[in-house]
A and B are shown apart, each in its own frame.
Chain A
């Protein structure tokens, strides 16, 4: 038997022994133990070292509010730091280590920091890391080095670098009523809501439902509270409309009653069950939420209140009753309220000696006196603890007479021997979720706590959450809350359930701090003392938000669950104001830390979908270097052995201009525009006219935005009277679709037009060059492709190798060219047939680089020029702006600024020093390498032109057209490229279009 384990009682299974290690030492515990309870049972009292001062720390609480006993759990190479030992369920093979100590927990060299307490006060970092503002060390690297060392000395657990092999998953769930917390109030609410047939989710962060019923030692209607709770859980478990989630922390309360929860599915097991994740994240959309989240007991602030052996009274009661562990043999109690008397009695009942009960109040109730008497404890009312004795373990306490008016009277101090001190500073309702939902807490003077306001729209509270600390009343409130949440009318139950023993007075004395010599901790986890709070006040950081940030009070991983109210109270006293006037900070999600793995679940790695054209595999098989264009993958070049990118694209473009080339254009956006008003619709969205387009012809179209700037361009084919196929640029396909849908749905709902995205349904191959027509004629059946049957911008239907195709004669390369569209499933088949037909002519496949080169030679615009700032006239597309009809952008395109002189216009550039040009370089009149200035514009696209045998570029240059034939310079200081260029027309090659018209 462990030294501190009681012979019976609690939820642990004494027949099952669990083996685990802490800091390398092997220990045993029982099924049902937490790491904290198992270590306490083994007589361990030292759990960790504090954040700044490296003071020895024990375990303060028994739950999620634990600030001291933080450990790192090791799973293989994976480290999970800063887990409260109170929340770790032990399992065989569990390996946990303590934190923030070197070389060991018992002998920590940095404990010397305690001597420097005055220096390491609030604002230490701010004051220190500024560095000297004068003198030889000002702004030196030496100071940076010191900062590194100091920062390493402070802190908590260390995160690991090993990848986490655990699996995580996420769930969406819907319910009428979500009950958060399964204490007597929550269980009562869940039972009542479930009885009405409502879909109920009951979430409990502990491994066992029941909350305080598991350790209160009360009886409810004659039955032990724990049995009462497990009866209700049994009832709920059998109901189909109820989902019970244990080990599940509801950590976020968001808009529209959406709550976030994390379920620790496998942390308590040596290895997860087959297929089970480690954590499961829940997004719960609840009709109404019952907040039955209970309350936290607050520490009292007095010197040495952090010594191992000092613990919260309710936590000690919980260890005794729920885990069968006594946190000490000889116990003292220090309280400002009645609840600690019950805790003392519970420990006495399980075998501990209660040496003394110290109460700051001068008068206490008869019930409390009776409890103290029953424990055999010396009762010291009107007294306070002013210090603790011992090293890494409590050996005694120092106490003195105390009144609220005068404080403690140290001259009359005496000591009492004790190895455990239970403290209770009153209770703070756990209002975090309500605060996240937007509720402003209200200060309750009699309970000395922030209480939730009236129930919100989406939630209703019950039990200790409301400041209702009696179990009988909590059950009644839960009943009422369950009915409200399920939408049932309230009913009078008349009587309260019979709970024994009867509740004591819940009102604490308004005492938060005992001022005496020594460090009195307010925030245990961040080592913030009451003197730090007063220092912040002295230095002017008096608002709650400043106090918090300056001292870091409440900013540790426990988010100030125990420290917020004492901290506020001390600041209020310093300011001479009542607590509610000092205010409280708002709680934000998460309520407790959430594993990032649970948030990500299956969403990790590269999440971008990949879009592949039907001919993708052919490109790979034929040595294409692929290039990602948005989500699409497109061939950049089909490089031969030893070829550079420039050599490859020059070869491809040359071959296309000499004989023929073929390029995959399947990525172009394609939208079927169909319906009786399709032509009218196109007239409104394009700047040029489409209603006059004959069936079987295509037209180049330009779209403007509402503000008159260019939006997108492409060809649209009239396949029938009411049937158009619109193409868009690859990059804008989605945007154009959305734009068209918006106008059709919101602005012109009367137009009878239907839009369908068919980008993925069509495969497209563009074949161009002097031999293109001959190649087509060699493989197309069912139609002629000569100039008469298929004139420029004409469309024919036919077959290639048995597959139906649609061919439009249009040209992006400037050559005699055709776009051959087939069903996506036939894409590779048709492509291969075209390749085969092209072989005798020497046709080559070409990639995006050659495509870009030929379009630059022709001066066609793309997204680089349609950059959201250029007008149609800037791009010399003014001829496409119809004067016969209004269209999107027509009203705004003639605004003063859009027709003024000095605008950037599209021009061509020829490199005069025979060196490459590159996009983004500026154009200037005079080069000034030291002080680059006077930009006239910039290069949008550049290449080596095989047709001109020169390095050329397209550029947007101020008043560009008027500068044709003049010289300028590129100025590209980042790439150190300066040199002369000639400004020319953007139509570099075949400006009359003889080649494409044939």
Chain B
């Protein structure tokens, strides 16, 4: 599996560390909405197909990347910096939604 880091170019997956589901929405820090916090901390999508993921280029520039990966084929559909505004192209889950 190759992930094309926007800084470093195409790199082997062994340089990257998986940092979890990219569909999580962190509630407002001051929010006391436990349902929203619970969804953020514990609920994870497990799709068969395109999935939003966060990967860190741990063995490289250490940037966090928003990667859309097909879980069936391991095909990397898109890579951008995780810090960029705007949701990935599909499926960002609503807080509190059932998995």
Give the B-binding residues of A (Cβ under 8 A): 255-256, 258, 285, 438, 684, 706-707, 738, 741-742, 745-747, 749, 886-887, 890-892, 895
User: Contacting B29 at CB < 8 Å: which of A256, A745, A886, A895?
Assistant: A886
Show 17 residue pairs from A and B whose CB-CB distance is below 8 angstroms, ordered by the A residue: A255-B73, A255-B75, A256-B2, A256-B74, A706-B40, A707-B42, A741-B56, A741-B62, A742-B19, A742-B54, A745-B64, A746-B82, A749-B83, A886-B30, A890-B29, A891-B32, A892-B37
User: Contacting B41 at CB < 8 Å: which of A256, A285, A706?
Assistant: A706
CB proximity of A748 to chain B, nearest CB, Å: 9
User: Contacting A891 at CB < 8 Å: which of B1, B27, B76?
Assistant: B27
A-B contact count (CB 8 A): 55
Task: Judge if B99 is at the interface, Cβ distance under 8 Å.
Answer: no
| Given contacts A256-B2, A749-B83, A741 and B37 within 8 Å (CB-CB) | no
A285 / chain B contacts, CB cutoff of 8 Å: 2
CB proximity of B29 to chain A, nearest CB, Å: 4
List the 4 shortest-distance A-B pairs measured between CB atoms, nearest first: A749-B83, A255-B74, A886-B29, A745-B64
A707 / chain B contacts, CB cutoff of 8 Å: 41-42
Bound together, the chains give a CA A892 to CA B2 distance in angstroms of: 37
Task: Judge if B92 is at the interface, Cβ distance under 8 Å.
Answer: no
Task: Judge if B46 is at the interface, Cβ distance under 8 Å.
Answer: no
A746 / chain B contacts, CB cutoff of 8 Å: 19, 54, 64, 82-83
CB proximity of A256 to chain B, nearest CB, Å: 5
Bound together, the chains give a CA A895 to CA B35 distance in angstroms of: 11
Bound together, the chains give a CA A872 to CA B41 distance in angstroms of: 19
Q: Determine whether the beta carbon of A741 is less than 8 Å from that of B2.
A: no
CB closest residue in chain B, given A757: B62
Bound together, the chains give a CA A539 to CA B19 distance in angstroms of: 49
User: Contacting B34 at CB < 8 Å: which of A738, A886, A891?
Assistant: A891
Bound together, the chains give a CA A706 to CA B76 distance in angstroms of: 29
CB proximity of B77 to chain A, nearest CB, Å: 12
CB proximity of B43 to chain A, nearest CB, Å: 13
Task: Judge if B45 is at the interface, Cβ distance under 8 Å.
Answer: no
Bound together, the chains give a CA A850 to CA B39 distance in angstroms of: 45
CB proximity of A812 to chain B, nearest CB, Å: 30
B2 / chain A contacts, CB cutoff of 8 Å: 256, 258, 285
Task: Judge if B87 is at the interface, Cβ distance under 8 Å.
Answer: no
Bound together, the chains give a CA A258 to CA B26 distance in angstroms of: 36
Q: Determine whether the beta carbon of B34 is less than 8 Å from that of A895.
A: yes
CB proximity of B49 to chain A, nearest CB, Å: 15
Q: Which of B70-90 contact A (CB under 8 A)?
A: 73-76, 82-83
Q: Determine whether the beta carbon of B1 is less than 8 Å from that of A255.
A: yes
Q: Determine whether the beta carbon of A892 is less than 8 Å from that of B58.
A: no
CB proximity of B13 to chain A, nearest CB, Å: 9
A738 / chain B contacts, CB cutoff of 8 Å: 17, 19, 56, 58
User: Contacting A742 at CB < 8 Å: which of B34, B56, B76?
Assistant: B56
| Given contacts A255-B74, A738-B56, A745 and B63 within 8 Å (CB-CB) | yes
B26 / chain A contacts, CB cutoff of 8 Å: 747
Q: Determine whether the beta carbon of A891 is less than 8 Å from that of B19.
A: no
B58 / chain A contacts, CB cutoff of 8 Å: 738
| Given contacts A738-B56, A746-B82, A891-B34, A684 and B29 within 8 Å (CB-CB) | yes
CB closest residue in chain B, given A174: B10
Bound together, the chains give a CA A707 to CA B75 distance in angstroms of: 32
Bound together, the chains give a CA A749 to CA B76 distance in angstroms of: 24
Bound together, the chains give a CA A741 to CA B19 distance in angstroms of: 11
Q: A256-B1, A738-B17 are in contact. List 7 more A-B contacts (CB 8 A).
A: A255-B75, A258-B2, A706-B41, A707-B41, A891-B27, A891-B29, A891-B34
B17 / chain A contacts, CB cutoff of 8 Å: 738
Bound together, the chains give a CA A324 to CA B76 distance in angstroms of: 51
Bound together, the chains give a CA A411 to CA B1 distance in angstroms of: 62
CB proximity of B10 to chain A, nearest CB, Å: 9
User: Contacting B37 at CB < 8 Å: which of A684, A749, A891?
Assistant: A891
Give the A-binding residues of B (Cβ under 8 A): 1-2, 17, 19, 26-27, 29-32, 34, 37-38, 40-42, 54, 56, 58, 62-64, 73-76, 82-83
A684 / chain B contacts, CB cutoff of 8 Å: 29
CB proximity of B37 to chain A, nearest CB, Å: 5
Q: Determine whether the beta carbon of B64 is less than 8 Å from that of A742.
A: yes
A706 / chain B contacts, CB cutoff of 8 Å: 40-41
CB proximity of B61 to chain A, nearest CB, Å: 11
A891 / chain B contacts, CB cutoff of 8 Å: 27, 29, 31-32, 34, 37
Bound together, the chains give a CA A745 to CA B83 distance in angstroms of: 6
CB proximity of B95 to chain A, nearest CB, Å: 12
Bound together, the chains give a CA A746 to CA B21 distance in angstroms of: 12
CB proximity of A377 to chain B, nearest CB, Å: 52
A892 / chain B contacts, CB cutoff of 8 Å: 34, 37-38, 41
CB proximity of B7 to chain A, nearest CB, Å: 12
Bound together, the chains give a CA A503 to CA B34 distance in angstroms of: 75
B42 / chain A contacts, CB cutoff of 8 Å: 707
Q: Determine whether the beta carbon of A256 is less than 8 Å from that of B75.
A: yes
B1 / chain A contacts, CB cutoff of 8 Å: 255-256, 258
CB proximity of A556 to chain B, nearest CB, Å: 30
CB proximity of B30 to chain A, nearest CB, Å: 5
| Given contacts A886-B29, A892-B37, A438 and B56 within 8 Å (CB-CB) | no
CB proximity of B67 to chain A, nearest CB, Å: 12
Bound together, the chains give a CA A741 to CA B17 distance in angstroms of: 13
B56 / chain A contacts, CB cutoff of 8 Å: 738, 741-742
Bound together, the chains give a CA A746 to CA B40 distance in angstroms of: 14
A895 / chain B contacts, CB cutoff of 8 Å: 34
Bound together, the chains give a CA A686 to CA B51 distance in angstroms of: 32
Residue with the highest number of chain B CB atoms closer than 10 Å, among A684, A891, A892, A895: A891
Q: Determine whether the beta carbon of B64 is less than 8 Å from that of A741.
A: yes
Bound together, the chains give a CA A257 to CA B31 distance in angstroms of: 46
CB proximity of B70 to chain A, nearest CB, Å: 10
Residue with the highest number of chain B CB atoms closer than 10 Å, among A684, A706, A887: A706
Q: Determine whether the beta carbon of A438 is less than 8 Å from that of B19.
A: no
Bound together, the chains give a CA A890 to CA B41 distance in angstroms of: 13
CB closest residue in chain A, given B3: A256
Bound together, the chains give a CA A612 to CA B63 distance in angstroms of: 28
A749 / chain B contacts, CB cutoff of 8 Å: 83
Q: Determine whether the beta carbon of B73 is less than 8 Å from that of A438.
A: yes
CB closest residue in chain A, given B10: A285
B82 / chain A contacts, CB cutoff of 8 Å: 745-746
Bound together, the chains give a CA A256 to CA B13 distance in angstroms of: 11
Residue with the highest number of chain B CB atoms closer than 10 Å, among A738, A742, A745, A746: A746
Bound together, the chains give a CA A745 to CA B54 distance in angstroms of: 11
Bound together, the chains give a CA A75 to CA B54 distance in angstroms of: 49
A741 / chain B contacts, CB cutoff of 8 Å: 56, 62, 64
Bound together, the chains give a CA A895 to CA B34 distance in angstroms of: 8
A887 / chain B contacts, CB cutoff of 8 Å: 29
CB proximity of B52 to chain A, nearest CB, Å: 12
Bound together, the chains give a CA A258 to CA B82 distance in angstroms of: 26
CB closest residue in chain B, given A887: B29
CB closest residue in chain A, given B37: A891
CB closest residue in chain A, given B66: A746
CB proximity of A617 to chain B, nearest CB, Å: 30
CB proximity of B75 to chain A, nearest CB, Å: 7
CB proximity of B82 to chain A, nearest CB, Å: 5
CB closest residue in chain A, given B42: A707
Bound together, the chains give a CA A892 to CA B56 distance in angstroms of: 25
Bound together, the chains give a CA A742 to CA B83 distance in angstroms of: 10
CB closest residue in chain A, given B28: A886
CB proximity of B25 to chain A, nearest CB, Å: 11
Bound together, the chains give a CA A738 to CA B19 distance in angstroms of: 9
B74 / chain A contacts, CB cutoff of 8 Å: 255-256
CB closest residue in chain A, given B26: A747
Bound together, the chains give a CA A886 to CA B2 distance in angstroms of: 38
Bound together, the chains give a CA A409 to CA B38 distance in angstroms of: 77
B63 / chain A contacts, CB cutoff of 8 Å: 745
Bound together, the chains give a CA A706 to CA B29 distance in angstroms of: 11
CB closest residue in chain B, given A438: B73
CB proximity of A173 to chain B, nearest CB, Å: 13
CB proximity of A669 to chain B, nearest CB, Å: 16
Bound together, the chains give a CA A285 to CA B74 distance in angstroms of: 15
